[in-house]
Structure 1
Amino acid sequence: MAALPSLISMMSQLIASPSISSSQSNWDQSNKGVIELLESWLSSQGFQCEIMPIPGRPNNVNLIATLGSGDGGLVLSGHTDTVPYDPGRWHSDPFKLEERDNKLYGLGSCDMKGFFAIVIDTVQQMALTNLKQPLIVLATADEETSMAGARALVSNHKIKARYALIGEPTSLTPIHAHKGILMERIRVTGQSGHSSNPALGNNAMEAMHAVMSELMRFRNRLKERYRDASFVVDYPTMNFGCIHGGDSANRICGSCDIDFDLRVLPGMSNQSLIEEIAKILPNVEQQTGTQIEINSLFPDIPSFFTPTESDIIKTCEKLTNNAASSVSFATEGPFFNQLGIETLILGPGSIDQAHQPNEFMALEQIKPMQQVLRGLIERYCVQGTPFNQPKDEEQRV
């Protein structure tokens, strides 16, 4: 097999290939440069690589790289895109990997291009010539925005495996559950007019005040109705993220928008929540004489849940010496749930560094992550551990 660049060199090259995904067109970029790098490295190690187009996203693709065959096996998955960055707030070039104080700095270092470099470096150190079950390395597009890459996998039933690890930054803690998320926009349309006479218009901003009051009451009802002690924030949350209305102090505000997100616990129905919110709005319309509509900013993301009794959860608890936990941020995990794959979220780096200026991965996280990867590949691909083994069988890791 062809020699690969070092782990640090691979990580440097991935970070040097910009792949920002954003709802703002001036930020949004293709991920094809990252995919081409991954495809070249993985194919040199014997993986069969398929580049998968994303419907409606001609400049973005998924990569499915497979070694071996069978109906079980393991998926090691990550996303290739990053969020935008804050110009002027980085202490170094976001697109040049820099080591300082035993940390590797760069946009995507922990979220999550560094994960791919760790995976490929681990694979090339292992003897994987006679796998009993397949090893699949999956690289997706647009996780940071629409999750179009993961949604396309579900639509096309592209991935078949027993287990999956998504290498999001969790500080090497196995994550078996996370909240779902909805991002919505409510628009209030009133009537503009001269501010000297309120009768000349109908102030949409004032009507939005009534909308927000109703939403806050709804938020309180959700907090009372739903609790899950396994989460640090053990109730559903609603955040008012931004509001825009009017154009001048001397004009009655004719239109006002508010964008908010709603993070829901496993077991809650995203669609039911939207229906409940939609039922609130006609009363406000009638009271204020305005028009009110609600639309989704992005398709919703379901909550994620894998039972803690799952073999991959138990195995990773032993490999990391960390008990499985839950988080509030969203991942591609629920789409793997929909494909029938038992999945956990576990990766190097901390979510506290993700989406921040001076994002970094601590060097001390790399070797422990490689130990986890070797254990999982050995168990599910080399040994081909059966999916339906007895629960009391000793975990061989």
Structure 2
Amino acid sequence: MSSAHADILKMLKALIGTASISSTHAHQDLSNLPVIEQLHPWLEALGFEVEVMPVPGHPGKYNLIASLGQGPGGLVLAGHTDTVPCNPELWNSDPFQLTERDNRFYGLGTCDMKGFFALAIAAAARCHQQPFKQPLIILATADEETSMSGARALVAAGRPLARAAVIGEPTGLKPIRMHKGMMMEAVRIEGRSGHSSDPSLGANALDAMHGVLSELIQFRQELASKYQNTDFRVSVPTLNLGCIHGGDNPNRICGRCELEFDLRPLPGMSLEGLREAVHQRLDPLAEQFGVQLETFSLFPGIPPFATPADSELTLTLERLTGHRAEAVAFGTEAPFLQQLGMDTLILGPGSINQAHQPDEYLDQAQIQPCVDLLEKLIIHYCLTPART
């Protein structure tokens, strides 16, 4: 085993052994600071200037911005430090201990996506003693799996800035230049309960919700006919009616009902525009059914993302990987980094098919190709003078 490979394994073990679950449930949610504290000295040892940035309004959550070199251009290698929750009883090994078997490394976050940090640092270690003409920034964010508060905080602060950014989500080392957005919305209806023998005694929230469902199904059909992008396997925006809760007994007029739905817009579609369209369709139902109707967002949403097919980063990664840049359905922090003015793509080791489930793993065969590829990107964006 080479010393470089041993260093990667050492970092992987430390990162996987440091729990950093991000959850909407407070009893499961953990600080990501211990992961930041793992990364900090490794990067400083290579000469990076490291800043740890608290995420405003989210106690215990931090971003790390590590910079090597100066200049107006450069490269960001970005990833998130948090993981989803897990069910240890369903794993064949301890999810918080790196386990090697079948030429794979198992552990929570191996591919999604703590493993990327170990490989990015290994690539930087190959180059750090050379003169940097443009900066290399390694960015580690908080709470990607829930609120994306870390990425949002970077946008609010206007940093980091570089020419290009690669987010190391698991893509099998194939470049991704587009993904759909994600919205989670809710409709709350307050009617008036009463005895079911006389409908005039109340205002049935379930009857009103039937009208809501009909409007949303019609809206879904209209979106699918108006918007299409054949780069996506599911080429239309989707609207999923996820869950509904209402009423308490068959002989009572339903006084309250709530619906939650998921909407996945294509690039070019506006989250606020979609929310306004939903309002316009649903608001008249309140008067029609004699109820109070409220629509609201369960979280701020993730905008759809697209980088042009002819951008420099797209063409560079296609050349280096031999793969055409593709589109995926899952969301990432890419639209937020793009808002900072960076040419942004998604590329990393592992597969999304292994993420968010028991026995998550990173195939050993992905490790060396990923380090080699990241080294080539660092050479291209950081060791050559900025273009004027």
- The bucket for the TM-score relative to the shorter chain is over 0.9
The aligned counterpart of 2:22 is 21
Kept after mapping to 1: 8 A contact 2:191/2:256: yes
Deviation at 1:169, TM superposition (A): 0.7
Amino acid at match of 2:147: S
The aligned counterpart of 1:215 is 216
Deviation at 1:248, TM superposition (A): 4.5
TM-score normalised by structure 1 residue count: 0.92
Give the Cα–Cα distance (whole angstroms) in 2 for the partners of residues 254 and 384 of structure 1.
67
The aligned counterpart of 1:394 is none
Kept after mapping to 2: 8 A contact 1:190/1:291: yes
Kept after mapping to 2: 8 A contact 1:178/1:329: yes
1:167-224 Cα shifts (integer Å, max 9, x gaps)? 0111111011111221111111122345565554333233222211210110000000
> Which structure 1 residue ranges, 5 or more long, are not aligned?
389-397
Give the Cα–Cα distance (whole angstroms) in 2 for the partners of residues 251 and 96 of structure 1.
53
Give the Cα–Cα distance (whole angstroms) in 2 for the partners of residues 6 and 248 of structure 1.
62
Give the Cα–Cα distance (whole angstroms) in 2 for the partners of residues 174 and 62 of structure 1.
25
The aligned counterpart of 1:268 is 269
**For residues 255 and 92 of structure 1, do their structure 2 counterparts lie closer, same or farther at Cα, with a shift above 3 Å needed?**
farther
Give the Cα–Cα distance (whole angstroms) in 2 for the partners of residues 5 and 366 of structure 1.
12
Deviation at 1:240, TM superposition (A): 1.8
SS of the equivalent of 2:156 reads: helix
**For residues 127 and 41 of structure 1, do their structure 2 counterparts lie closer, same or farther at Cα, with a shift above 3 Å needed?**
closer
Give the Cα–Cα distance (whole angstroms) in 2 for the partners of residues 59 and 26 of structure 1.
14
**For residues 248 and 89 of structure 1, do their structure 2 counterparts lie closer, same or farther at Cα, with a shift above 3 Å needed?**
farther
The aligned counterpart of 1:184 is 185
Q: How does 1:140-219 map to 2 (within 5 A)?
A: 140-195=141-196, 198-219=199-220
Corresponding position: 1:255 with 2:256: yes
TM-score normalised by structure 2 residue count: 0.94
> Which structure 2 residue ranges, 5 or more long, are not aligned?
none
SS of the equivalent of 1:206 reads: helix
Give the Cα–Cα distance (whole angstroms) in 1 for the partners of residues 351 and 145 of structure 2.
16
Give the Cα–Cα distance (whole angstroms) in 1 for the partners of residues 26 and 91 of structure 2.
22
Corresponding position: 1:324 with 2:292: no
Deviation at 1:5, TM superposition (A): 6.5
SS of the equivalent of 2:40 reads: helix
Deviation at 1:87, TM superposition (A): 4.6
Amino acid at match of 2:19: P
The aligned counterpart of 2:381 is 380
Kept after mapping to 2: 8 A contact 1:177/1:305: yes
Corresponding position: 1:240 with 2:233: no
Deviation at 1:75, TM superposition (A): 0.3
The aligned counterpart of 1:56 is 57
RMSD: 1.8
SS of the equivalent of 2:60 reads: strand
**For residues 304 and 158 of structure 1, do their structure 2 counterparts lie closer, same or farther at Cα, with a shift above 3 Å needed?**
same
Amino acid at match of 1:50: E
Kept after mapping to 2: 8 A contact 1:203/1:252: yes
Amino acid at match of 2:385: G
SS of the equivalent of 1:272 reads: helix
